[in-house]
Every structure is written in structure tokens, then in C-alpha cells.
């Protein structure tokens, strides 16, 4: 079913701005209709005046008129199509831009809730359906609708009785189209899903290509890839099959109708009620009407597909983010930089049963270094990501300098925070731009300085083009440790007052780490620093340590205190740190 809400929305936000062009296309459509009808109508005087009355002037004029009529038709058709193709490409651009904006701004949890391949499919497959609806279907409604009206007029002028018989076919054709349209809607949604699956698989395939080789799963993947491609092919083939299903129905209907018409018109001619010139003009009009009727019968199929796609796309464009940007709120300036977690609870929406954080109360002193230790999966990274509001507490609140962070301007909050994530992510861009990403206005000298501090300059200088080297998708051309150092360089460049380090040096060898450590010590001096620690040295340097266990804070204190007070910490320390 086509929902009027979707229709209004598509019109208001995406097509109304092109209304002038659409009107122009409509004008050309009127010309197409008029010229097509004229060609049919001209047969009447042609036969009467030339063949029957043997008129000498019209033998020149009528063929000329026919050339003009056909040329007018061809040229108008070209412009009508050209304009609508342009409009639909513009609409495509706006839709894709809106979707991309939505992706960029969407809450991390929303982005993580679906495989990226599905989103790729929305951006390509679905948008294409909508574009096609505009460039083909809507134009066809105008053009073929008007042409049909024009031709019907010619038919009625030539003989109304015959025309009445001919138009019986139109409702029959539209019933067929309606039934097919419903079926198409369903298959089209399935096809979209399969296209999404295929994209998802493709992305996984590229990401995991080494794993596939090492575990020798090529045959398995070949089998799987065949399934994905085949599933999509099945649905596409089904769409095509349903689409052409109207063809035999239409042909049979046409055959029956022509038979009836010959029978009936024969009787009219025999009884002298119908002249031969009128009959031929009528017949020409009817034949020309065949194509518009056929196209119009299929229009609603493509429109169903287009609307089904719109109903998948619009919710993406309309994503309601829970993490309010608070753009209207005042900018926040850090004074002390104290961060307090007040009874914070959190679970991921995708898995509400996993209580990732439970009644977390923390106090990160401003200008000091606090460490979080705990087993993997205990919730440390999640906790850290809540400070720049990547995730929002499901209960409780987080305060910075005694103010609830959910209440102030998000951009100003994030501008004060650097985070070196556990998983380094990089753009397929140059080394320079990857570091600069943290502060685009920084000068190249500042970037070089940051790179030097994070011990990046050695390996950067060895790259083929130095700072201008493209590093490949997510930095494939770099080692894990090199990527991590680029990520640390970003933190050096940003120079923010709050620094969050999530196992920031875990991929580095101890020698490189030692070198970085000195610079890091400088960086974090007098800044609110929270480190998720994996090395003893970090812990010994920390002013305070929190022990996280299954989403709860179970102990806190300095290293020496915890060794005595906390069994969990002692145990953890002995297993994790002692050997280092």
C-alpha cells in the first residue's frame, strides 16, 4: 500500500523544489500526447482526401504534416525524458546526502545495531528504486496518461460505438496490474534484504580475507558466496518474472479485443454506418494506444517498489538520536576537570540482559591520573566511552566539574577530550591527514611534533612518501604498533584537558613503549587522565586505581593499599602484571 504520508514526504522534501522542471516535463508530455494523437487523426483526411478524392495539394501537405507530427513527438519525448532523468538524479543526490548525514550523526549504538552492508544496500539499491520511480513511472503517468486521453479522443471522434468496446479493456488491464503490484511489493522487500545480505557478506569477505586463507576456508566461502549471490538472483529473477507477467495477459486481451472489433466494425462498414477513412484513423489510434496502456499497467508495480524503498530509507534519514547534541546550550569550559560517575547503570540496547555497568560510582580527580583495572569484558572500555557521551547511561549521571555532562553542549564537551581507543581506526588517507584528523587547523609543524612525541617519525620517514603516504584501508600498510602510535599522535596533537587511554600502548614492544611513556607522562601532566591499564608501570604512576569486576566497582585505592585490601586486585596483579 502506498502511504499518503510517505508520498507527501517524498514530494515535500525531495521533489517540490524541482516543480518547475516537472511542470516543463509535463508540458513536453502534453506535446507528446498531442503529436501522437495527431498522427492517428491525420489518417482520416489522408485516406478520404488523397485515396478517395485524389486531392493534388493534400498529397504533399498531409505527408508533410505527418513528418512534423512525428518529429514533434520525438523531440518532446526526448526533452520530457531528459528533464525527468535530471530531476531524479538530483533527488537521488539529495536522498543520498541526507542518508550520509544521518549515518555520520547517528548514535554509535544505532550504527552498531545493523551490519554496515545493510546500510550500503539502503544507500544504493533503495535509492535506485526511488529514482526509477521518478524518472520512469511518474513521467509515464503524465506522458502515457495524456497520450491515452488524446488517442481516446481521436477514437471517439471517429466512432464512439467502437471506442466504447475498446475501452472495456482498460479496467481489465488495471485489475491485472493491481494484483501484480501487491505481489511485487512483497518480493521487492525480499530482494532488498538479499541485496543487503550480499553487501554484508562482501564487506566481511574483504575484512576477513587473511583469516579465510589461514583457516583454508576458501571452499566454504565459495559455497557461501554462491548462496548469497544465488539468493539475490532468485529474488531479482522473480521481480522480473512478475514484471513481465502482465505481458501475456495484455496480449491475450488485445487479441480478443481486436477480434471483437473486426467483427463489429465489419458489420458497421457493411451497414454503411462507418466510412473506411474513419475506421483506419480509429484503428491507428487504437494501435498507438496499446503502448501507453501497456506501460501504464506496469507503472504501479514500479511505484510500489519505489514506495517500499522510501519506507525503508526515510526512517534512516529520520533517525532520532538519543544523545542530544545540546547545540543551543552554552559552551563548557573546564576548570578543575573532576569527573564523577553517580550511580551509573548501562546496558547495550542490543543486549539488555547483559548489565554492562551496575551502580557505578567513581570519582576521577581533576589533573590526576586514575587507572581502571579489571578482566576483559568487565566494562572498562564502555565506561570510558561514556565520558565523551558515545554511550549514555541508562540510569544515573556523569558530572564534569559538578555539572551533568548530558546537559551541556556536546561539541564543547568532546572538544576537551582525547581518546586513544583500544581498536585503532584510521582513514584510507595520508599519514598527515590521519594525524591531523584530531585537529584539522593544526599546522604541519605541530603534526610533526606530535608524531615525534609518539615515536612515529621514524617509521613515517621510512614510508615511500613520508607523511604523504596513503596508508590503505584502515591502515593495512602499517603494523599494529604503528597504527597505535598514529592514534597516540592524535592525542598529542589535540592537547585536550581530559585524556582517555584505553590500553593505548598494548600493541607496542617494551622498548618503544618506554620511549613513548616519557612523552605520555608529559602529555598527561596536570590533565584529568583515565587509563585502562595493562602495564605495571602505568599502575604505579596512577594516583588512584579502580578495580572493575563484571560491571561493578569493587575496590579502589593506590597500588600498595589494594595489594593488601583487595583479593581480586592481588590476584589480578599476580597474573597480569607481575611478569612484566
Ligand X SMILES: Nc1ncnc2c1ncn2[C@@H]1O[C@H](COP(=O)(O)OP(=O)(O)O)[C@@H](O)[C@H]1O
Residues that bind ligand X (CB under 6 A): 112, 348, 350-351, 354, 356, 374, 376-382
The entry of Mg ion, ligand X, none that residue 350 binds, CB within 5 to 8 Å by partner kind:
ligand X
* Site string (394-423) toward Mg ion, x via CB under 5 A: ----------------------------x-
Task: Specify the DSSP element, H or E, that contains 498.
Answer: strand 498-502
Residue (380 or 389) nearer to Mg ion, CB: 380
Residue (20 or 376) nearer to ligand X, CB: 376
- CB 346 → ligand X: shortest distance, Å? 9
- CB 502 → Mg ion: shortest distance, Å? 6
Find where cell 525527468 sits.
84
- CB 326 → ligand X: shortest distance, Å? 24
Contact 442, 391 (CB under 8 A): no
By CB under 5 A, residue 484 contacts Mg ion: no
Residue (55 or 112) nearer to Mg ion, CB: 112
CB atoms within 10 A of CB 1: 10
The entry of ligand X, Mg ion, none that residue 356 binds, CB within 5 to 8 Å by partner kind:
ligand X
Residue (231 or 421) nearer to ligand X, CB: 421
Residue (125 or 391) nearer to ligand X, CB: 391
Task: Specify the DSSP element, H or E, that contains 528.
Answer: strand 528-532
Dihedral-angle region of residue 374 (phi above 0 means left; psi in -120 to 50 means alpha; beta otherwise): left
Of 397, 416, 396, the C-alpha closest to 497 is: 416
Size of the site for Mg ion (CB under 5 A): 2
- CB 36 → ligand X: shortest distance, Å? 59
Tell me the three cell numbers of residue 369. 591520573
Say how far apart CA 208 and CA 206 lie, in whole Å.
5
The entry of Mg ion, ligand X, none that residue 457 binds, CB within 5 to 8 Å by partner kind:
none
DSSP 362-425: EEE-TTSEEEEE--TTSSHHHHHHTTTTSS--SEEEEEETTEEGGGS-HHHHHTTEEEE-SS--
- CB 418 → ligand X: shortest distance, Å? 18
Residue (221 or 421) nearer to Mg ion, CB: 421
Residue (216 or 376) nearer to ligand X, CB: 376
Residue (129 or 542) nearer to ligand X, CB: 542
- CB 376 → ligand X: shortest distance, Å? 4
- CB 423 → ligand X: shortest distance, Å? 10
The entry of Mg ion, ligand X, none that residue 480 binds, CB within 5 to 8 Å by partner kind:
none
- The residues, any chain, with a CB within 8 Å of residue 531's CB and separated by 6 or more, are 369, 370, 371, 372, 500, 501, 504, 538, 542
The entry of ligand X, Mg ion, none that residue 112 binds, CB within 5 to 8 Å by partner kind:
ligand X
Which part of the chain contacts Mg ion (CB under 5 A), choosing from 221-229, 331-339, 380-388, 428-436? 380-388
List the beta strands (DSSP E) in 104-179: none
- CB 383 → ligand X: shortest distance, Å? 7
H-type alpha helices, 159-168:
160-167
- The residues, any chain, with a CB within 8 Å of residue 362's CB and separated by 6 or more, are 339, 340, 341, 344, 383, 546, 553
The entry of Mg ion, ligand X, none that residue 475 binds, CB within 5 to 8 Å by partner kind:
none
**CA 287 → CA 36, 142, 258, distances in Å?**
11, 19, 10
By CB under 5 A, residue 424 contacts Mg ion: no
By CB under 5 A, residue 505 contacts Mg ion: no
For residue 509, give the 3-state DSSP assignment. Answer: coil
Residue (152 or 371) nearer to ligand X, CB: 371
By CB under 5 A, residue 381 contacts Mg ion: yes
- CB 551 → Mg ion: shortest distance, Å? 13
Of 362, 369, 340, the C-alpha closest to 547 is: 362
Say how far apart CA 256 and CA 166 lie, in whole Å.
10
Binding footprint of Mg ion on the chain (CB under 5 A): 381, 422
Amino acid at each position: 500500500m502506498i502511504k499518503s504520508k510517505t508520498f507527501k514526504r517524498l514530494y515535500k522534501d525531495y521533489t517540490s523544489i524541482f516543480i518547475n522542471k516537472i511542470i516543463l516535463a509535463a508540458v513536453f508530455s502534453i506535446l507528446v500526447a498531442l503529436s501522437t494523437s495527431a498522427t492517428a487523426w491525420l489518417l482520416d483526411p489522408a485516406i478520404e482526401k488523397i485515396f478517395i478524392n485524389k486531392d493534388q495539394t493534400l498529397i504533399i501537405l498531409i505527408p508533410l504534416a505527418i513528418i512534423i507530427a512525428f518529429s514533434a513527438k520525438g523531440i518532446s519525448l526526448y526533452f520530457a525524458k531528459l528533464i525527468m532523468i535530471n530531476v531524479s538524479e538530483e533527488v537521488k543526490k539529495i536522498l543520498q546526502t541526507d542518508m550520509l548525514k544521518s549515518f555520520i550523526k547517528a548514535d554509535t549504538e544505532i550504527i552498531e545495531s545493523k551490519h554496515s552492508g545493510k546500510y550500503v544496500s539502503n544507500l544504493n539499491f533503495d535509492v535506485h528504486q526511488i529514482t526509477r520511480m521518478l524518472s520512469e513511472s511518474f513521467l509515464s503517468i503524465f506522458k502515457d496518461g495524456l497520450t491515452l486521453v488524446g488517442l481516446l479522443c481521436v477514437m471517439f471522434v471517429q466512432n464512439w460505438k467502437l471506442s466504447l468496446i475498446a475501452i472495456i479493456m482498460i479496467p481489465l488491464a488495471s485489475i491485472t496490474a493491481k494484483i501484480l503490484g501487491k505481489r511485487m511489493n512483497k518480493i521487492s522487500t525480499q530482494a532488498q534484504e538479499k541485496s543487503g545480505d550480499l553487501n554484508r557478506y562482501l564487506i566481511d569477505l574483504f575484512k576477513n580475507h587473511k583469516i579465510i586463507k589461514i583457516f583454508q576456508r576458501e571452499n566454504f566461502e565459495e559455497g557461501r558466496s554462491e548462496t548469497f549471490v544465488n539468493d539475490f538472483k532468485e529474488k531479482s529473477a522473480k521481480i522480473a518474472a512478475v514484471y513481465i507477467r502482465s505481458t501475456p495477459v495484455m496480449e491475450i486481451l488485445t487479441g480478443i479485443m481486436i477480434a471483437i472489433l473486426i467483427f463489429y466494425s465489419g458489420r458497421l462498414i457493411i451497414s454503411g454506418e462507418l466510412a473506411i477513412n474513419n475506421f483506419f484513423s480509429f484503428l491507428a489510434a487504437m494501435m498507438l494506444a496499446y503502448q501507453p496502456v501497456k506501460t501504464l499497467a506496469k507503472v504501479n508495480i514500479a511505484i510500489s517498489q519505489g514506495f517500499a524503498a522510501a519506507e525503508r530509507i526515510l526512517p534512516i534519514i529520520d533517525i532520532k538520536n538519543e544523545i542530544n547534541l545540546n547545540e543551543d546550550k552554552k559552551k563548557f569550559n573546564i576548570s578543575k576537570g573532576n569527573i564523577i560517575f553517580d550511580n551509573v547503570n548501562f546496558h547495550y540496547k542490543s543486549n539488555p540482559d547483559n548489565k554492562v555497568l551496575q551502580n557505578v560510582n567513581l570519582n576521577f580527580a581533576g589533573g590526576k591520573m586514575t587507572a581502571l583495572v579489571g578482566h576483559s569484558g568487565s566494562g572498562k572500555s564502555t565506561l570510558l566511552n561514556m565520558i565523551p557521551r558515545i554511550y549514555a547511561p541508562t540510569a544515573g549521571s556523569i558530572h564534569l566539574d559538578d555539572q551533568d555532562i548530558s546537559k551541556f553542549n556536546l561539541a564543547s564537551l568532546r572538544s576537551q577530550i582525547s581518546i586513544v581507543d583500544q581498536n585503532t581506526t584510521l582513514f584510507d588517507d595520508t599519514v598527515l591527514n590521519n594525524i591531523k584528523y584530531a585537529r584539522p587547523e593544526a599546522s604541519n609543524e605541530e603534526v610533526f611534533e606530535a608524531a615525534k612525541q609518539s615515536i612515529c617519525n621514524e617509521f613515517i620517514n621510512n614510508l615511500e612518501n613520508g607523511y604523504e603516504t596513503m596508508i590503505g584501508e584502515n591502515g593495512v600498510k602499517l603494523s599494529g604498533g604503528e597504527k597505535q602510535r598514529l592514534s597516540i599522535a592524535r592525542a598529542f596533537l589535540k592537547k585536550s584537558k581530559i585524556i582517555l587511554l584505553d590500553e593505548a600502548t598494548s600493541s607496542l614492544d617494551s622498548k618503544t613503549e618506554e620511549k613513548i611513556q616519557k612523552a605520555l607522562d608529559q602529555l598527561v601532566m596536570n590533565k584529568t587522565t583515565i587509563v585502562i591499564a595493562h602495564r605495571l608501570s602505568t599502575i604505579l604512576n596512577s594516583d588512584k586505581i579502580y578495580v572493575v569486576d563484571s560491571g561493578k566497582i569493587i575496590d579502589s585505592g593506590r597500588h600498595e593499599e589494594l595489594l593488601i585490601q583487595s583479593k581480586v586486585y592481588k590476584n589480578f596483579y599476580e597474573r597480569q602484571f607481575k611478569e612484566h
